[in-house]
Amino acid sequence: ITLIGRRKLEGSLYSNVSQEVVDFEKLDESVAAFQGHDVGFCCLGTTKAKAGVDGFVRVDRDYVEHSARLAKAGGCHHFVLQSGKGANSSSRFFYLRVKGEAEDRVQAVGFDRCSIFRPAVLLCDRQESRPAEWMAQKFLGVVALVFPTALSVPTVTVAQAMLNHVVMPGKEGQKVYVLENAGIHALGQAK
Ligand SMILES: *[C@@H]1O[C@H](CO)[C@@H](O)[C@H](O)[C@H]1NC(C)=O
Ligand SMILES: *[C@@H]1O[C@H](CO)[C@@H](O)[C@H](O)[C@H]1NC(C)=O
């Protein structure tokens, strides 16, 4: 297992994985990091608030596409992309359009199998979350109790669903798999 990211993660949780620190602006310098993996999981993403409009497009679409291309060149045959609910390259809404464009570009890379996860609001304890996000998370935390699959999904559920998905055999002749929020819940709870 290789974690490819822009900074090294510290702690015993990561003691058994390789880590490659890369500069996503100069990703072609890190071709070797992408070599020799069967399956790739891409959870890259930022927010417009943090990165601005251009930065958001750069990270959520361009870095994602570039990573997918290097993974393919390195031998990866199954790519799993974390996208978002409502992603649609024809959408009038900026966020959904950029996410949809990223999906289209990753599909175009031509993996044997390409899986697109479209979770709703991700529930996690994020240190850097801003107060508005914190409020939304607390509120959704309650809503999520009442409507567990509609509006949100915990990050651990998404991770478990991704793992369960990649070990399942694909369907004959089907290359692209799209998992919506309800399907992620169902698959993420299966052991
Ligand atoms: C790392 O591997 C060792 C040996 O297999 C295992 O005992 C340990 O629990 C692993 N650590 C983590 C964080 O997975
Ligand atoms: C994507 O957005 C377009 C424009 O709003 C819409 O016509 C189309 O039905 C959407 N596609 C999906 C799969 O929702």
pLDDT digits (tens, 9 = 90+) for 65-115: 999 999 999 999 999 999 999 999 999 999 999 999 999 999 999 999 999
- Respond yes or no: is residue 99 known to be catalytic: yes
Would you say the CB of residue 91 lies under 6 angstroms from ligand 2?
Answer: yes
The ligand whose atoms approach the alpha carbon of 90 most closely is 2
Q: Which of 63, 72, 85, 99 is catalytic?
A: 99
Quick one: pLDDT at residue 166? Answer: 97
Pocket of ligand 1 (CB under 6 A): 12-13, 15-16
User: Is residue 175 predicted with pLDDT exceeding 70?
Assistant: yes
User: Is residue 126 predicted with pLDDT exceeding 80?
Assistant: no
CATH label of the domain that carries residue 145: 3.40.50.720
Distances (CA, A) of 144 to 48, 98, 110, 191: 25, 26, 36, 21
User: Is residue 132 predicted with pLDDT exceeding 60?
Assistant: no
Q: What is the pTM of this model?
A: 0.88
Would you say the CB of residue 174 lies under 6 angstroms from ligand 2?
Answer: no
Quick one: pLDDT at residue 133? Answer: 61
The ligand whose atoms approach the alpha carbon of 100 most closely is 2
Quick one: pLDDT at residue 47? Answer: 87
Quick one: pLDDT at residue 127? Answer: 43
**CA distance linking residue 104 with residue 106, whole number of Å:** 6
Atom of ligand 2 nearest to the CA of 92: 5
Q: How many domains does the chain have?
A: 1
Contact status, residue 20 vs residue 30, Cβ threshold 8 Å:
yes
pLDDT digits (tens, 9 = 90+) for 4-54: 999 999 999 999 999 999 999 999 999 999 999 999 999 999 988 899 999
**Residue 73 structural domain:** 2-189
Q: Is the dihedral of CA 21, 64, 178, 173 positive or negative?
A: negative
